[in-house]
Each structure stands twice: as structure tokens, then as C-alpha cells.
Structure 1
Amino acid sequence: MPQAALAAPSAGPDLQSLRSQIDRIDAQLLDLMEERLCRAAAIAACKAGEDDSPLPLRPAREQQVIDRLTARARRMPAPAVAAIWRELMGANLQAQQQIHIVVHCPAQPVLVTDLARRHFGGAAPIIAAGTAEDALDGARHRAAIAVIEFSPLSRWWVQLFHDGQLAIFDCLRDRHGRIAALVVGRVAAAGDEAFLVLGDSALRRRIEAGEQLRTLAICGRLRLCVSTGAGARR
């Protein structure tokens, strides 16, 4: 075939054109995020007076959203999807009600504070607590959530055995999957894990009923356990 008959390659978009497309997409993303913020505020207004929960935090709903979007994603890595939506949901939450994150982490302050920031978003105000009791007191008496560093040797969780207000409703894990901190507040537990403070008799009854329990820490006759699976009981 004569060289002149060859079709000239079509010119692709130039750098400036590609950047303009990204700018347009960024503007659309911001518009959608602000629309989401308005819808979240509308939901909060609809629930006003009907929902007796002291905090508008819904960990189970948040996890459902992240799981659904992670499964939908084709190119975005799962950790990136989770990080983006954690930040977005955190901003939505703080727009509804300012909720402080009271952190007690004497052994690993950088790790635990960073995990709390990632989980609750950059808009959440973080307060350092000198003791675990101070952190729990903040979660008990103000619009706050306690994030307390966890160790199998820790004993602060014993206070929750007779506490009718607070519960461990979530945990923060390090990059190896180990529990670095427990999240405590006046919030319903999330997902397929339930953190329970049990005496010997209650532990025995649950095991006999076939519940899957793993002991995290022991203090006297009390055990801090995690119940796993879709049938996790609170």
C-alpha cells in the first residue's frame, strides 16, 4: 500500500485538555459531596424527636456503605475507598452535631491518634485524656466518644460491667489487624462483632448456647470478650 494511503493517527487529548477534564470532574465531585451533606442534614431533621439516641453515629450503617462501595469499585483500591468515605461521613457527622473524640493512649499515642483520625475523619475534634477514666467520663457526660488504647493487661474495661450507659461498640486495628484501641460511647454496636464484659456464669451460658466468644482480657471473675459472626449477641 502506498505510504500516502496510510491514515494519519488521530491526535489524542493534550495535557491541558486532560487537566481541564480533571478540573471539571473535581467540581462535580465537590457538588455531589455538598449534596450528600444536605441529604444527611435532611435525614437528621426527619429523625429529630423520633430517635432517642444521644449521638447521631450509626456505625452499622457506615460499615454497610463502605462494604457496598468497596464491592462496587473496579479500579479504586479498597483501602482508598474506605478512607475517602470515612472522611466524607465524618464531615457529615460533624455537620449534624459536633462530637469530640476523647483519646487515651499512653503507650502508642501516635498510632492510636492516627487510627482515630482516619476512622472519624479530619473534621472530628480530638481531645487527649490523661486517664481511661477521664475518657470514659467524657463519653458518658458530653457529646463525645472515647477511644482507649487496648492491651490484654488493661483493666479499665471492668468499669463497663455495671455501666448502663456506655458500651464498647467498635475497635481500631493496626496494619497487622491487631486491636490497638477500643471505641466506647452511648452508641449501638456495629457489624458482626460485639464486645462484651461478662462474668463467669454469663460466659458459660453463652458458650453452652453455641455463641462464638474469644477472650481479650481477664480481670478476676470478669472477662472482656468479643462475640463474632452474624449472630453476635449484645
Structure 2
Amino acid sequence: IGLNAGAAFGLIVFVTYFHALEGNPSLLIPLFTFGGGLLAAAVIVLLAYDRQEGLVPIRLILVGIAVAAGFSALTLFLSLKLDEDTYTFASRWLVGNVWGRDWIHVLALLPWIVCLVPLTLMQSSTLNALTLGDAVASSVGVRVQRQRLLLLTLAVGLASASVSMTGGIGFIGLVAPHLARRLVGSLHQYFLPVSALLGLLILVSADTIGRSIFAPNAIPAGVVVAFIGAPYFLYLLTKTK
């Protein structure tokens, strides 16, 4: 829904001011990507919100596609103003790459994962209720619009933190959940952790393939994931009624 594009915009803003993605300043990267993701989410909510129906998921997706295109254009515009070396490094980062990360990047990402992942898992029962429809969820005591905004904020935080360290590898978010649902069903107390583990497995496998099979000219993990994920996603579309 455009969160990755907003986070990538925040990353480019960071690079524009600090001209580096390494060292102590890299601890600030998640803050900038979260700001970009939050800005994208605010624009999406503003454009998708309906006074009578509130936030409708399908409208969020459609508006998110348009907002993602807009933020991608802004990201490209700012990146063209970088010097050649910084632009090359930033572009490889944005396309999705984990090679060359250091412990400083782990420290920058760790607080976001430790805080937000448990909060997200605690929302499993709410997510289960929302899958039954807004009316049913409301009837069992779920404050639909309030919870949807909370879940959107958690998604912004997790997506932005991930983009800050690995770039925008969007197809993991499309492929891993579908595989997890086939394995454990739709109950979110099982579905969410399995999705996360599958996403981790896909990322590590893509990075290994990109660096080993295509050596010495390593291919970023994001390119490998897109190459594998796009056909699978098209397969899912053809099989979905």
C-alpha cells in the first residue's frame, strides 16, 4: 500500500543530509525511513478515508498504489542530486541488498524489532476478527477503525525499519504470506510468525543465490526475489477466483 516507497523516500532524505549509510549516523536511518513511511501512510489515510465507511481495505490498496508511484518519483528526483558514488551505493541499497551490513545496522534495527514484533503478535485475535468483516468484528467488541489505524502504524514501523536496513524488497511481503497461509491456515497467531520466518528464509536464500551463483558480479537480493516472486505472484492471480 505504498509504505515501502515512503520509507525509501525517507532513506534518500537521510542520504541527502548525511551523505553516508555507514557509521554512527546509520543509527538514525530507521527514524528517517519511519518518518517517510508515516508520511506515506498519512497521505493514504487522508485520501482513502470515507466519512461513512471509514477505512476500506480495497480503497487503501488502490490509493496506496498511486501514492507509491508519487513517492517513487520523489525518491528518483532526490537521488539524481546525489554524487555518483553515493547514488550508486544508495541505489543498490534501495533495490534490496543485505551484503555489507555491519553490527551497527543490527543495533539500529534491533529496538524496532524487539518493540514492534510482540505488539503485532498481540493483535492476532483482532486480526482474526477483522478477517470476518467489519460488522462481525464490531459485534464482538473490536473498535474497527481504531484498531485498523493501530495496525497500520505497526505496519509502517516494521516496514520502514526493514527498508532502512535491506531496501525495498516488496515481493517478500507478497509471497511469504501466501506460502504461510497454505502451510498453517489463516489464524494469525500461527500465520504471522510463520510468515516472518518464511520471509527471512526467502531473503537469506535470495542473497546467497545472488552472491554465489552469479559471482563475481553479485546480484542484489531484491532482484533475485523479484525474479522468483513475480512469476509466483502471477500464478496466484491466475488461481484466485
Do the structures match in fold with TM over 0.5? no
TM-score (ref. length: structure 2): 0.27
TM-score (ref. length: structure 1): 0.28
* Structure with the higher fraction of residues in strand conformation: 1
Of the two structures, which has the highest relative contact order with CA contacts closer than 8 Å and spacing of 6 or more?
A: 2
Greater radius of gyration (CA): 1
* Structure with the higher fraction of residues in helix conformation: 2
